Structures are given as structure tokens and as C-alpha cells.
Structure 1
């Protein structure tokens, strides 16, 4: 049974096969005249609400490949997320709660304890993608070049950079670096929705820590919104 569960979760990748660097999406020129506040408000997670996000995930970590389904409740008002990870047969792998500062394991499949870095990497990735850092229009420096905007600033000892492009303008990349730490999140394929556009695909790359996460967002619903008949 243990072998079966792990086999459903893990696909062992070929050793030494590094993924190529992520390319930033090329979008049409962003309109002139936007302020740092305009850019901060354009981020798809900027409005305070509770979103229920169904996603599939592919995590590459130190030569191993992890495939899973994620059911997440993201509260952008409280700046916290709760994620339940499943395998393709619906077996619950973990249940994590993530805030700006903490990751709480509410459940972890015992067999997955063989891979202690898995829940740590997933929790850290959720924080980086959905929670922190976020643009701070009263702190970050605004620039416009090559048809896109940049907001750059400091978060403690970390340097942060947010890149925006397209019309309507959207967040396409955020990067954090501090000494040897250097990671980036790239947002692709924005989907139109009555509740607001959202990226259909998200890639996070942390080459220093040795992992890469790809999320494909299947659906986004706002909590308590009426269901179509």
C-alpha cells in the first residue's frame, strides 16, 4: 500500500536534467500614465475576498517529480491560504495553512514524511505566489520602459521587483533576491472572468533551493457567489 501511494504521487525524473530558465511573457504595450497605486490594484489578488481555486501542480525538486491536485481557499483580505493536496485518485496527501509568516500542517500522509522538504516547499511556494511579497505603492519605485512597468523596492533585507505589461495591465512577474537567494514567479495566460481576470498558468523557480513549481489553474470561484443552474 505504501508503495502504491508513493507511486501515485512520485514520478522519478532523470538525474541531471535541469529545466530551462523561465521566459517572461511578451505582451502588448501597457498604457502610459499609470501610477504605482494603479499597478498595485491591478494585481489579480489585490481585492479583499475569498477565492476557491482548483489547480493542478507539478513540482520538480532535486531530481524528483511530484504531481498533485490542489483545492485551495485563498483569503486575500486576511492574507492567508488553506490548501488540500490530492493525488489523481483523490487520496489526501496534505492539508496546509499558510500565512505571511507561518506554515501549519493540519494533515500529512504518513508515507510523505519520507520527503520532509515537500510540505515545506509547497507552503513556501504558496506564500511566494499568492501572499507575499506584494506591491507597496507608497514604498516602491515606479519606472516605465520597453512598453512595461516596474515597481522595485525593499522588504527588509530583500530586494523585490514587480513587472507589469499588457493592456489591460497585469502582473507578469515578481522577483526576489537577497545575497544567494534568488527566486521568481511568472504569470501566464490570463483568463477572463466576471469576477476578475486570473492567470491560467503560474511558474515559480528557485534555482538556489533546487525546485520549480508549475500551477495550472483550472477554475476560480468567489466564496458564497451563486452557482449557475
Structure 2
């Protein structure tokens, strides 16, 4: 991990800048009265921490969002910043909320679902608030395009009225149905999710959704995941 961060740092920060930072850190550590071994260990930790901060700030400058960019470019710019964040903190979520207004409106839903929801931690109540905001900002054309794209990928599961039966594996730690987003048309996958952890309660729920309630379908992780609009979104004030 440290070597990876160091290489990214070298690619983005001038060597002279690095030497100045390193010198400042070394001088500060010398005043702490630590043993040589502890000084070296602390130096490594601080440098990695500073690497990350500098890399993130450089990445933010070099990868600003712009209107009119493609989804691929938007995704690439977003990831060139959040690649320095850990999955267990809220840095990525905070970055998303801070730049929300400059992310092209047509790409916000995919950024939130594909790049945050499936990869990073987020603040739950804020997440549903932003999801409602995105849906309220969605144009009629975008809604129709979303339905068209999902119909193409889920065609074999839809009935004549564009309804689909989806399954969700649950255990004692699962979100309640009103907050659930992730489902699958494949019952076997839902059963696997239900049984993957030891739990007092295990089960598979079955619900019917209209095509308009499907946010996005992805099989990137081989989970045949259909993300739906959770009922709780419409409870938000």
C-alpha cells in the first residue's frame, strides 16, 4: 500500500516539494525524544499520511468535473481522487457531497450507486436524501432513458406490463425492506446472500417491482444486482 501511494505521489508532486516536506517532518520528530527505531517508524507513517493528503489535493485540481463530459470521463475523474481514500471512512462520501453540484446532473445517479454505494462507506440518512434529490432532478427524458436501458438488460425477466419479480437475501443484520436497495432476479444469488453469514434469522424475500422503480442493473460483481428505489426515499421531507 505504501509503495503504491509513494509512486502516485512521485507522479504528482515535484521532488523539491517532497524534500521540503520530508525535512520538516524529520525536524519535528527529532524534538520528541524518541528512539531511532521509533523515529523511523513514525517518519514512515507521517510521510504516507502526507503523501495521501498532497495526492488528493493534486488530484482534485487535475480532475475537476465539467459539464458535457461523458460518463466514462466523469467516472475516471471521480476515481482518480477517491482512489486515495480507504473504504472504511467517509472521505469518499464527503467528497461526493461537496462536489455534487458540479458533477454533471446526468451522471450523479451512477456515481452514487456504482462508485460509492457498492464500494465505500456512506452516511445512511444523507444517502437517501441525495437519492431523493437526484430523482427529483431527473428529467422525463432521463427517466425514459433509464427505463429503456434497464428494460434491455432485464428483458427476459419482465412481464408484458413491465413488472419484474426480484429477490433479496436477508439475515438479522439486513436493512428493512423500506430501506433496501439491492435485489436480484436470480433467487439462487439471494439465497447465497442469506446464508453467507451466521445469523439467527435467514430468509429470502420476494417482491414485484415496475420497471420505473429500477434505478440500475449491474452484473460487474457477478451478483446480478438490480437496484431499486427504496420506499423510505419518499418519506424524506
**Structure number with higher strand proportion:** 1
TM-score normalised to structure 2 length? 0.23
Q: Which has the higher contact order (CA 8 A, sep 6+)?
A: 1
Larger-Rg structure: 2
